[in-house]
Amino acid sequence: MKIEANDFTILFSETTIPDIFLTEYLPQADGNFIKVYLYIVFLSKYNKDIKLNDLSKKLALPLPVIQNALKYWEEQGVITKKNSGFIVNSLQEIELHKLYKPRVALSPEDVEKNKQSQYRAKAIESINNSYFQGMMTPSWYSDITLWFKKYDFDEQVMIALFGYCFDKSALHRNYVQTVADAWHKNNIKTFNDLDIYYEKQEKLNKIKKTISKKLGISRMLTQYEEAYIEKWTVDFGYNLDVIELALKKTTSKSNPSFDYIDKLICDWHDRNFKTVVDVQNFLLETKQKQKNIKELEKKTKYNNYEQRQYTDLNSLYANSQDA
């Protein structure tokens, strides 16, 4: 006896998208890329053959967008390129491999240790409930376990990591990994380390705002300008009092730049000046030398006196106002 099903018209058919797509892929993907993916999933049900130009016209998207979308989904492992076209891969299978493949790299002792860690289990559950509404996908559990091992964060730091990314509306894997790397480079392991780091960042932000205000900058500082300030404060260890001496030197400049200020501060650092007093004494000495030169010029009545040929470094101080 042969049993046949009635043919369903497209009116009654459905295209199923797994929830894993909504949680793992949709938040990070470009809207047009999502549009392309949904349509090729629909086409894959019927083994349809379609050219890129036709796909471009059908979706009302430029051909380069179609090409970039296919390249993006291929890089994500969502589709696989073949000679005759593409295969739409199973997202559930991809996530299953992500979940179990990393655990192969862990020793049995590590796996057992993680299983026995009640504190870490509670931390992961807290992250799940607080930032994923209790719907955290399995791959996140594997990632968090590995991050505990890689960065040696304590439980409070791991929770704070997800809280920080959640507040930035950037709770996706690449961003969390980037922030975790930054914290690790700053030797953050415990919550106390994180507190100290936040205090330093807060102090640095205040210095940035103060410098912007004193220079009359109302816009946001550029990445390069912030890098200058971080060099002065973090690498050189100068506080705002020393930096302010350099800022005062810009009052005689019509268009002072961070490059000019940086040359001053780098010069002080190269001279091994540590305190405000060190810098002030040097500036007084420089001022006195310039005064002596001018007096000597008057006595000799020789306007082109050779001492006027300053080096580029000396010109930093030649026409500046007092600190």
Q: Do 63 and 39 fall within a single domain? A: yes
294, 242: one domain = yes
- Say yes or no: 238 and 278 in one domain: yes
Phi and psi at residue 85, to the nearest 5°: 155, -135
As for how many domains the chain has, the answer is: 3
pLDDT of residue 3: 39
Asked if residue 215 belongs to a domain, the reply is no
Indicate the range of 158-172, 173-187, 287-301 predicted with least confidence. 287-301
Same domain, 242 and 268: yes
Query: Quick check: 23 pLDDT over 90?
Result: no
Please indicate, yes or no, whether residues 177 and 243 belong to a single structural domain of this protein.
no
Is 13 part of any domain? no
pLDDT at residue 177 is higher than 90: yes
- Residue 242 · residue 276 · CB < 8 Å: yes
* Same-domain check for residues 85 and 109: no
The CA distance from 310 to 307, in Å, is: 7
Average pLDDT of the chain to the nearest whole number: 82
Q: Which of 63, 89, 115 is the last residue of a domain?
A: 89
Q: Which of 56, 89, 122 is the last residue of a domain?
A: 89
Of 33-37, 77-81, 117-121, give the range with the top mean pLDDT: 33-37
Report yes or no on 97 lying in a domain. no
Dihedral sign, CA of 36, 42, 47, 49? negative
Q: Do both 227 and 314 map to the same domain?
A: yes
Helix (H) or strand (E) holding 118: helix 118-131
Q: Would 136 be classed as within a structural domain?
A: yes
Question: Are 313 and 227 part of one and the same domain?
Answer: yes
**Residue 209 covered by a domain:** no
| Residue 84 to residues 43, 125, 274, 280, Cα–Cα distance (Å) | 15, 45, 69, 75
Residue 129 lies in domain: 105-189
Long-range contacts of 153-156 (CB under 8 A, 24+ apart): 153/180, 153/183, 153/188, 153/189, 154/189, 154/190, 154/191, 155/119, 155/120, 155/122, 155/123, 156/123, 156/190, 156/191, 156/194
Q: Specify the pLDDT at position 138.
A: 82
CATH number of domain containing 68:
1.10.10.10
Residue 4 lies inside a defined structural domain of this protein:
no
Question: CATH no. for residue 184?
Answer: 1.10.10
pLDDT of res. 272:
93
> CA of 71: how far to CAs of 30, 66, 80, 134, in Å?
12, 9, 10, 33
Q: Which of 181, 201, 312, 180 is nearest to 259 (CA)?
A: 312
Last residue in a domain, options 64, 89, 114: 89
Cβ count within 10 A of residue 261: 22
Domain for residue 96, yes or no? no
Confidence of residue 113 (pLDDT cuts 50, 70, 90): low
Residue 183 lies in a domain: yes
Please tell me whether the overall predicted TM-score, pTM, comes out greater than 0.75 for this model: no
Residues 233 and 306 in one domain: yes
